[in-house]
């Protein structure tokens, strides 16, 4: 447990220092843990586990957009799990459930079997359709088609800077829509 | 979009750097402050006898009290803008103005009273105080909420209440230079009431706008 969390903290420090690959590795590493915790939380609230992936994606977006609130001197896991709890509670409230989120759902204990598959979630995909054309194109290109920023810029005859701006705005707009819908 | 694809897009956006919450909060308060100062300059202004008032320790005490509210409230609100932060261990900072007021009330009680207690408490400006502090707070409150929106507070209503304390503390600092009531009893009553109003507004608005 300790080792895993120290590794996360190290990856996040590298990510904040500009290492995109470390950031990618970190997000991949925390996702199965978040997924298992979201399923546990939903099960405890008597909800079907099929919303778990929506929660995971909302957590990942919040982690991304709020990572400037992480103190690089502090361990990463408590910060991550606090966001996880917040998003689980939000989801349950939105569904009109009385909320009893067990603090352990996002605690530092890892379940033995962790579902590894990547799952599709409905809400991000649905909100993607409501974004302005350019943001949607850029997100589609980078996320789904796995194109680089450079290739995406060439494809849409945009500057790389404009692609970066559209990507960031698209992610921020997605998050706002998920929060407010 | 599946989760792996989402992660890919987040990693591609890693180069984007957001400013710290403290920087955004500072900027937002600096943008809002001129509006509050404009309200102050238009309707209130510094009291006429300010030069002689400065020799009265109870006049100076008002600024110590209001600033000991505003500054710790800024510190605590920045702490609470982190998702994993708890109020525990930090809440005592918010008791500083209460302690200062208690000391001031105690020292005033030990002096030969210039006025009867009820007159010191009621003062001459209680109604102005109750309107002016909230009015000057509103621009600052909007600024504080805007700044804290950049954070990720796990308790939005609490963070909003802190934004209320920040703005009321700063507005009361301005107001203190206008008001001729210097008794700590007056401050403890009317400044506190005005601050409570602003804090309640902050909590109410914060519970909506500070969710992340």
Segment B8-21, tens digit of pLDDT: 999 999 999 999 99
Can you state the angle between helices B21-39 and B156-176, rounded to 10 degrees?
A: 40
B10 shares contact with chain A (CB less than 8 Å): yes
Residue A177's Cα: distance from chain center in Å?
15
Whether residues B10 and A15 touch (CB distance < 8 A) is answered with no
Residue B82 reports pLDDT greater than 60: yes
Mean pLDDT for A7-32 is 96
How far apart are alpha carbons A108 and A87 in whole angstroms?
Answer: 17
Taking the CA of residue A64 and the nearest CA in chain B, the distance in Å comes to 7
How far apart are alpha carbons B27 and A24 in whole angstroms?
Answer: 32
Q: Are A87 and A55 in contact (CB under 8 A)?
A: yes
pLDDT digits (tens, 9 = 90+) for B103-120: 999 999 898 777 888 888
Provide the pLDDT confidence category of residue A47 given band limits of 50, 70 and 90.
confident
Main-chain dihedrals φ then ψ at residue B2, nearest 5 degrees = -85, 170
Q: Are B65 and B187 in contact (CB under 8 A)?
A: yes
Provide the pLDDT confidence category of residue A48 given band limits of 50, 70 and 90.
confident
B51 shares contact with chain A (CB less than 8 Å): no
* DSSP for B137-168, written as a single string: HHHHHHHHHHHHHTS--S-HHHHHHHHHHHHH
Residue B77 reports pLDDT greater than 70: yes
- The lowest-confidence range among A105-109, B30-34, B110-114 is A105-109
Mutation choice for A interface testing from B2, B4, B5, B6 by most A CBs within 10 A: B6
| Angle at CA of residue B101, ends B100 and B102, nearest 5° | 90
How far apart are alpha carbons A52 and A45 in whole angstroms?
Answer: 12
Mutation choice for A interface testing from B3, B17, B82, B211 by most A CBs within 10 A: B3
| Angle at CA of residue B86, ends B84 and B90, nearest 5° | 135
Main-chain dihedrals φ then ψ at residue B150, nearest 5 degrees = -75, -15
Residue A97 reports pLDDT greater than 70: no
Q: Return the residue of B nearest to A65 by Cα.
A: B18
HEC states along B108-145?
Answer: HHHCCCCCCHHHHHHCCCHHHHHHHHHHHHHHHHHHHH
Q: Are A89 and B38 in contact (CB under 8 A)?
A: no
User: What ipTM was estimated for this complex?
Assistant: 0.91
Provide the pLDDT confidence category of residue A152 given band limits of 50, 70 and 90.
very high
B13 shares contact with chain A (CB less than 8 Å): yes
How far apart are alpha carbons B37 and B136 in whole angstroms?
Answer: 8
pLDDT at res. B118: 87
pLDDT at res. B14: 96
Provide the pLDDT confidence category of residue A101 given band limits of 50, 70 and 90.
low
How far apart are alpha carbons A130 and A141 in whole angstroms?
Answer: 16
Residue A4 reports pLDDT greater than 60: yes
Q: Are B108 and B183 in contact (CB under 8 A)?
A: yes
- Between B169 and A114, residue with greater pLDDT: B169
* Residue A24 DSSP class: H
Residue B1 reports pLDDT greater than 90: no
Whether residues A79 and B84 touch (CB distance < 8 A) is answered with yes
Q: Establish, for the pair of chains A and B, how many residue pairs have beta carbons separated by less than 8 Å.
A: 119
pLDDT at res. B205: 98
Residue B147 reports pLDDT greater than 70: yes
Whether residues A83 and B12 touch (CB distance < 8 A) is answered with no
Residue A87 reports pLDDT greater than 60: yes
Residue A108 reports pLDDT greater than 60: no
Residue at token pair 């609100």? B77
B208 shares contact with chain A (CB less than 8 Å): no
List C-alpha distances in Å: B87 to A91, A139, B94. Answer: 24, 38, 10
Average pLDDT, chain B: 95
B8 shares contact with chain A (CB less than 8 Å): yes
* Residue A98 DSSP class: -
B23 shares contact with chain A (CB less than 8 Å): no
How far apart are alpha carbons A31 and B203 in whole angstroms?
Answer: 33
Q: Give the closest residue to B158 by CA, choosing from B204, B103, B100.
A: B204
Bridge partners for B26 per DSSP: none
Taking the CA of residue A46 and the nearest CA in chain B, the distance in Å comes to 24
Mean pLDDT for A23-40 is 94
């Amino acid at each position: 447990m300790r080792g895993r969390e120290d590794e996360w903290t190290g990856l996040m420090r590298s990510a904040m220092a500009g290492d995109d690959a470390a950031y990618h590795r970190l997000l991949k590493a925390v996702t199965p843990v978040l997924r298992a915790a979201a399923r546990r939380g939903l099960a405890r609230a008597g909800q079907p586990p099929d919303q778990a992936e929506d929660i995971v994606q909302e957590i990942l977006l919040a982690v991304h957009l709020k990572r400037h609130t992480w103190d690089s001197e502090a361990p990463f896991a408590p910060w991550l799990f606090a966001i996880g709890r917040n998003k689980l509670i939000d989801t349950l409230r939105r569904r009109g459930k009385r909320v009893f989120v067990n603090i352990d759902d996002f605690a530092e204990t890892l379940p033995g079997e962790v579902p590894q598959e990547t799952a599709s979630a409905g809400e991000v995909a649905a909100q993607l359709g409501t974004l302005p054309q350019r943001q949607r194109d850029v997100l589609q290109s980078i996320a789904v088609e796995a194109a680089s920023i450079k290739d995406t810029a060439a494809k849409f005859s945009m500057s790389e800077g404009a692609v970066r701006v559209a990507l960031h705005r698209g992610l921020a707009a997605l998050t706002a829509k998920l929060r407010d819908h | 979009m599946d989760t792996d694809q989402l992660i890919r897009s987040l990693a591609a956006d890693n180069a984007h750097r957001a400013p710290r919450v403290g920087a955004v909060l500072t900027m937002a308060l600096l943008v809002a402050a001129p509006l509050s100062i404009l309200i102050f300059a238009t309707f209130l202004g510094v009291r006429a006898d300010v030069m002689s008032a400065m020799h009265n320790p109870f006049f100076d005490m008002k600024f110590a009290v209001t600033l000991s509210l505003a500054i710790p409230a800024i510190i605590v609100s920045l702490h609470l803008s982190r998702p994993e932060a708890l109020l525990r261990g930090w809440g005592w900072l918010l008791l500083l103005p209460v302690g200062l007021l208690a000391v001031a009330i105690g020292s005033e009680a030990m002096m030969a009273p210039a006025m009867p207690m009820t007159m010191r408490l009621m003062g001459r400006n209680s109604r102005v105080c109750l309107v002016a502090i909230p009015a000057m707070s509103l621009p600052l409150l909007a600024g504080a909420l805007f700044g804290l929106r950049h954070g990720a507070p796990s308790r939005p209503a609490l963070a909003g209440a802190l934004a209320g304390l920040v703005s009321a503390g700063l507005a009361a600092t301005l107001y203190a230079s206008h008001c001729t009531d210097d008794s700590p009893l007056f401050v403890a009553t009317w400044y506190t009431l005005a601050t409570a109003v602003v804090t309640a507004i902050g909590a109410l608005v914060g519970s909506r706008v500070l969710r992340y």
